[in-house]
């Protein structure tokens, strides 16, 4: 009776020793068919999206050149710099306000060349002001009046700008020395000033078109000429032809050889625009040329 159970127990122990559980596939392999299916689906989607993106027209391709770029994106505007375009409504540095527009009320190449020395951008405008002196008007008064008139004349066109007007009146022993215009007049002027001192009254005016504030400055300059012979005068005039200069001598050129002495607080005043005085006026208006 005891043999049956013992045999059964021995068989159970033998079976336990040689028991081979049913192997199950790893999780990754059990889900492999689903994974392959999903990967194939997403791969197809990616290929489809790439194809669509490749065939979608780019915003830049809608136009042929930068000239037409503004129609594509109105947030960009044309610019003269090397990049061709700049964003509209740029953020401004509050510590450094954008520079004011500056306008020189003159068509003189000499005044334009002087103002360029200060290194900031500006525009030139023709003031179209009659420069004839008033009866009995002193030379310095004429220069001041015309400098202001020139600045005011262009203010209508540039109401937000800083406007610079300048004028110069030259005289020698009561005789006014205007621009000679031709060789004969220039020869007469140089013969008149030979060995004498001529007075050059130069005035500069700065008008703030925005506020209406006006500042003026007059700078006198006394020029003593050497004694000049007729041959020297003729030779100089043939070489330099200073027919557009009051006094018939270009001090910034060969004309300096005609001069024995210059007395002034601002050497550039003799050329037509006193930069020392103008720099001070600009600083008073909030434009420091040195930043």
- Positions annotated as catalytic residues are 167
Tokens of 182: 């031709």
- Backbone angles phi and psi of 273, in degrees to 5: -145, 105
226 contacts 259 by C-beta, under 8 angstroms:
yes
Pairwise CA distance, residues 90 & 112, whole Å: 31
DSSP label at residue 88:
S
- Distances in Å between the alpha carbon of 267 and those of 194, 262, 270? 21, 8, 6
CA–CA separation, 178 vs 37, rounded Å? Answer: 98
Taking the CB of residue 197, how many other CB atoms lie within 10 A of it?
14
Q: Residues 6 or more apart from 102 whose CB is under 8 A from it?
A: 120, 121, 122, 123, 161, 162, 164, 287
DSSP letters along 214-276, please? EEEEEEEEEEEEPP--HHHHHHHHHHH--TTSTTS--TTTGGGGGEEEEEES-GGGGGT--HH
The C-alpha angle with vertex 107 and arms to 285 and 130, in degrees rounded to 5, equals 95
Strands 214-225 and 259-264 come out as antiparallel
């Amino acid at each position: 009776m005891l043999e049956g159970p013992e045999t059964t127990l021995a068989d159970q122990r033998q079976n336990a020793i040689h028991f081979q559980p049913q192997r199950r596939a790893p999780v990754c392999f059990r889900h492999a068919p689903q994974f392959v299916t999903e990967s194939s689906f997403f791969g197809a989607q990616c290929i489809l999206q790439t194809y669509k993106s490749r065939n979608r027209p780019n915003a830049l391709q809608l136009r042929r050149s930068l000239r037409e770029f503004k129609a594509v994106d109105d947030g960009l505007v044309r610019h003269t710099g090397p990049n061709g375009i700049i964003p509209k409504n740029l953020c401004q540095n509050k510590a450094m306000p954008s520079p004011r527009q500056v306008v020189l009320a003159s068509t003189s190449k000499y005044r334009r060349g002087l103002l360029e020395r200060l290194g900031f951008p500006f525009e030139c405008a023709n003031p179209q002001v009659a420069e004839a002196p008033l009866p009995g008007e002193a030379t310095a008064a004429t220069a001041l009046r015309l400098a202001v008139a020139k600045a005011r004349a262009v203010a209508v066109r540039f109401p937000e700008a800083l406007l610079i007007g300048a004028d110069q009146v030259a005289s020698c022993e009561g005789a006014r020395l205007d621009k000679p215009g031709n060789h004969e007049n220039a020869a007469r002027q140089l013969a008149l000033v030979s060995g004498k001192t001529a007075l050059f009254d130069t005035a500069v005016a700065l008008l703030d078109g925005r506020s209406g504030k006006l500042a003026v400055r007059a700078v006198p300059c006394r020029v003593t000429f050497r004694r000049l012979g007729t041959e020297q005068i003729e030779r100089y005039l043939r070489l330099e032809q200073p027919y557009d200069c009051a006094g018939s001598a270009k001090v910034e050129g060969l004309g300096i050889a005609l001069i024995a002495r210059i007395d002034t607080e601002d050497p550039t005043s003799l050329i037509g625009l006193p930069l020392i005085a103008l720099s001070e006026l600009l600083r008073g208006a909030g434009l420091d040329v040195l930043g």
